[in-house]
Amino acid sequence: MQTEKKGVIFAAVSFIIWGIMPIYWKQIDHVQSDEILTGRILWAFVFTLIAVILMRDVRALLADFKDLWGNQKAFWSLFTASILVTSNWFIYIWAVNHEYIVQTSLGYYINPLASVLLGILFLKERLSRTQTAAVIVAAIGVLMMTISYGKFPWIAIALALTFALYGFIKKNIKLDAMRGLVIETMFMLPFAVGYYCYLFVQRDAAFLHIDWKTDLLLILTGIATALPLVLYAKGVQLIPLYVAGFIQYIAPTMMLFIGVILYKETFGKVELLSFSMIWAALILFTVPKLIAMTRRDHLKL
């Protein structure tokens, strides 16, 4: 039970960080989305590698890579996961910096439903009647938000699918979170370095060409990327996928408030009703879970 609690805390903190990230990306919206993505990959690799070195885990990292290479299914699964999360990063950055924060929140509302379905279909995870009702209520709320747009919300769908599949793959790869992220970013590093070289040759790079604040924010994208991913990877391995799926509602809720209150994006009556239904589903899902966890703790005492 203590293990599950730790998993919930790790996952929750990761989604709180992701929830406030639109504010961060808005500070560098004068930089092209492709360069921000390139910087995220490069600096995330640098910072996670430094962390591994400081923790004296280099031998373990090399052993992890050797083991992965010996298990080709796991190797290419992690490679696929790195492509999925990189795609998710790019879509998210582009959407935030093009005034689609509310639609990104919709994507991350849909994402837990996708995670729940993956868990049921492939991991044989089961839901209670209350949890099933919560999923149905949340699905109706998300559907109402989708219909209210009046067009296919491709940003939301793409974000939901890429991150749900990423979480599903990571769930099935037993790898230390920090060392795993080093390997994930290493897969994309040659592409990032190559593209940065291209930007500098074409004199299109913002890095080192605007001001020190922009340079610092681009460098710190490495920490902003690595920290929540490491926490998420640690958390998702300790809890059922459907629990991780519903904790994810923290991030889109924060994004929604940021998009509407700070950046004045559209949020009408239909969105409000949908939002209320999703929160009702959250209460329906989490309250019985918390009661059960509390009872089990008392029994142990």
Domain that holds residue 105: 2-300
Q: Which of 233, 221, 211 is nearest to 43 (CA)?
A: 221
Q: What is the pLDDT of residues 229-252, one digit of tens each?
A: 888 878 877 887 667 767 877 898
pLDDT of 13: 93
In tens, the pLDDT along 9-38 reads 998 999 999 999 999 999 999 999 999 999
CA angle 59, 62, 64 (to 5 degrees): 110
On the question of pLDDT at 297 being above 60, the answer is no
User: How far are the Cα atoms of 14, 76, 264, 290 from residue 79, in angstroms, in the given order?
Assistant: 22, 5, 38, 36
Structure tokens at 129: 């009647």
Confidence check: pLDDT of 192 > 90: yes
Q: How far is CA 297 from CA 4, 237, 242, 300, in A?
A: 12, 21, 21, 5
Q: What is the DSSP string of 42-73?
A: HHHHHHHHHHHHHTT-HHHHHHHHHHHHHSHH
How many structural domains compose the chain? Answer: 1
For 90, the token pair is 């790019």
Measured from the Cβ of residue 164, the count of other Cβ atoms closer than 10 Å reads 26
